[in-house]
């Protein structure tokens, strides 16, 4: 019942605005036919100037209709059909006032547009937050349309941008009726940016937290300290025992969740964030093409050149989410899936033992790299993810070479350098990564081997 009453009130106010605008416009046209005769009678600082009487009459009309427009200004609080009809009725009247009096003309119209824009943007915040939450909650993390490379993304990001595209169409229709102030334009683009940023943040933070690894950070230093205190370097058996003890911090509480989130899903998460950036750019182009004032706004806010800088903050958030997921994939693959082998098998009991060399680890890694290449849609982000894996793998190898309960001798130098080269060749094979990039990543390892094996 309340909804029907509200709709009826909106329709009534829309009709009243239309009737009022038409009547005042007709009256203004009538005034224009004979007001010139009274130019000499008007004391407005421009006596005897042609049109001064008509300007005086127009200003009187503007003041008199203000009281009649107030109900509409308070009734219309968001963009909807009756409000748009009111704007369509008032816009020709504002143009008529402008032709007679110049700017500003009918400020009530600008205020109405500002109110509608602000109210609509406030509604969008809640609407989009709910839509994003529901889309992610219902997400199956399966690629759409059969999973061909061109559509390696999932439903939630498609749902979001379908909705955003429709909302942009509404805003363009609204803003095309009456030029908006920069603050009103900015309010809408800010909402779009914030909600895209919120979506990619939720997607990135949806990666299951990884347990601490003895190969990285504080956990690595603590494990190394315990190992150096408890494991004499002369006892290979005790070294293996302490290393196993350090690796076995107990199964992580979220092991089931980690195993339920395969690499294919992580690639889809990255793809969704990358596609969100691409679609945000398309929305920016669409908005600028339809509302040229946004180009100046983009330059003012970012100091750039229009489309590329409109909603640049949202694009940066998409890039940050992609980067976070790529690094997460690398940490999960190296520290979680291969971490035990690094800690308990690599170079134990001796680097001269073929079974303890790097080759078995690289063999286990090979399907993962193939899955990344196959699963990440954009080549640039595929390479970025591979580079993250290489960097993290190099850090894990560094941890093993620096472990205080391992000792290396000059006799180990050749095999260790061969392993470093094998690692480089592995990531360059088939053009996975450029030679220069790989060389930069493994260079510190060569230096570390030389230092570790020095007599």
* Structure confidence at residue 206 (pLDDT): 95
* Per-residue model confidence (pLDDT) at position 33: 54
Q: 105 and 94 in contact (C-beta within 8 Å)?
A: yes
Residue 35: both structure tokens together: 């007001």
HEC per residue, 220-269? HHHHHHHHHHHCCCCCHHHHHHHHHHHHCCCCCCCHHHHHCCCHHHHHHH
Cα angle 184, 311, 301; round to 5: 65
- List all residues 6 or more positions away from 217 whose beta carbon is below 8 Å from its beta carbon: none
- Residue 416: predicted pLDDT: 97
Residue 30: per-residue pLDDT? 59
Residue 356: DSSP 8-state: G
CA distances from 420 to 259, 390, 412, 447 (A): 30, 12, 12, 11
Name the nearest CA neighbour of 335 among 384, 393, 262: 393
Whole-angstrom distance, CA of residue 93 vs CA of residue 104 = 13
188 burial via Cβ count (<10 Å: 0-12, 13-18, 19+): buried
pLDDT on residue 9: 75
Alpha-carbon distance of 71 to 61, in angstroms, equals: 17
* Spatial CA neighbour of 311 closest among 169, 177, 164, 173: 164
Q: Please list the pLDDT of the chain residue by residue as tens digits (455 residues).
A: 766 777 777 777 777 877 877 777 766 665 655 555 554 455 555 444 445 666 766 677 777 777 778 877 788 888 888 888 888 888 887 777 776 666 667 788 888 899 999 999 999 999 999 999 999 999 999 998 654 555 789 999 999 999 999 999 999 999 988 888 888 999 999 999 999 999 999 999 999 999 999 998 644 544 444 344 433 333 333 333 333 333 333 344 478 999 999 999 999 999 999 999 999 999 999 999 999 888 776 655 544 444 457 888 999 999 999 999 999 999 999 999 999 999 999 999 999 999 999 999 999 999 999 999 999 999 999 999 999 999 999 999 999 999 887 889 999 999 999 999 999 999 999 889 999 999 999 999 999 999 999 85
Query: 396-424: b or e for each residue (b if 16 or more CB lie within 10 Å)?
Result: bbebbbebebbebeeebbebbeebbeebb
- In angstroms, the CA 319 to CA 222 distance is 34
Yes or no: say if 263 and 368 are a contact pair by the CB < 8 Å rule: yes
């Amino acid at each position: 019942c309340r909804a029907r009453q509200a709709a009826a009130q909106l329709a009534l106010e829309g009709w009243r605005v239309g009737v009022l605008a038409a009547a005042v416009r007709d009256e203004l046209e009538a005034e224009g036919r004979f007001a010139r005769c009274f130019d000499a009678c008007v004391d407005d600082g421009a006596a005897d100037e042609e049109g001064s009487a008509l300007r005086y009459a127009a200003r009187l009309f503007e003041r008199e209709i203000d009281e009649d427009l107030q109900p509409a200004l308070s009734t219309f609080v968001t963009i909807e059909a009756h409000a748009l009809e009111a704007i369509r009725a008032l816009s020709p009247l504002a143009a008529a006032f402008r032709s007679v009096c110049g700017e500003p003309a009918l400020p009530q119209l600008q205020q109405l547009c500002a109110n509608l824009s602000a109210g609509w943007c406030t509604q969008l915040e809640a609407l989009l937050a709910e839509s994003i939450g529901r889309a992610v909650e219902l997400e199956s993390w399966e690629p759409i349309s059969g999973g061909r490379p061109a559509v390696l993304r999932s439903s939630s990001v498609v749902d979001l941008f379908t909705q955003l595209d429709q909302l942009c169409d509404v805003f363009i229709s609204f803003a095309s009726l009456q030029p908006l102030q920069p603050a009103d334009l900015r309010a809408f683009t800010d909402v779009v940016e914030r909600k895209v940023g919120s979506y990619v943040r939720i997607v990135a933070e949806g990666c299951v937290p990884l347990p601490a690894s003895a190969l990285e950070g504080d956990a690595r230093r603590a494990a190394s300290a315990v190992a150096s205190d408890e494991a004499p370097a002369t006892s290979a058996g005790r070294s293996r025992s302490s290393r196993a003890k350090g690796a076995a911090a107990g199964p992580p509480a979220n092991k089931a969740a980690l195993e339920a989130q395969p690499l294919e899903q992580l690639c889809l998460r990255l793809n969704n964030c990358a596609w969100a950036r691409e679609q945000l750019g398309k929305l920016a182009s669409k908005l600028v093409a339809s509302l040229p004032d946004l180009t100046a706004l983009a330059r003012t806010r970012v100091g750039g050149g229009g489309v590329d800088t409109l909603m640049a903050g949202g694009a940066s958030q998409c890039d940050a989410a992609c980067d976070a997921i790529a690094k997460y994939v690398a940490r999960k693959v190296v520290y979680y899936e291969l971490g035990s082998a690094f800690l308990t098998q690599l170079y134990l009991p001796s680097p001269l033992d073929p079974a303890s060399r790097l080759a078995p680890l690289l063999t286990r890694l090979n399907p993962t790299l193939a899955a990344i290449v196959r699963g990440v849609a954009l080549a640039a982000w595929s390479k970025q993810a591979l580079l993250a894996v290489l960097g993290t793998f190099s850090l894990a190898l560094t941890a093993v070479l620096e472990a205080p309960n391992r000792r290396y001798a000059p006799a180990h130098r050749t095999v260790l350098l061969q392993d470093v080269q094998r690692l480089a060749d592995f990531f360059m094979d088939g053009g996975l990564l450029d030679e220069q990039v790989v060389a930069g990543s493994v260079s510190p390892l060569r230096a570390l081997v030389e230092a570790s094996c020095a007599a």
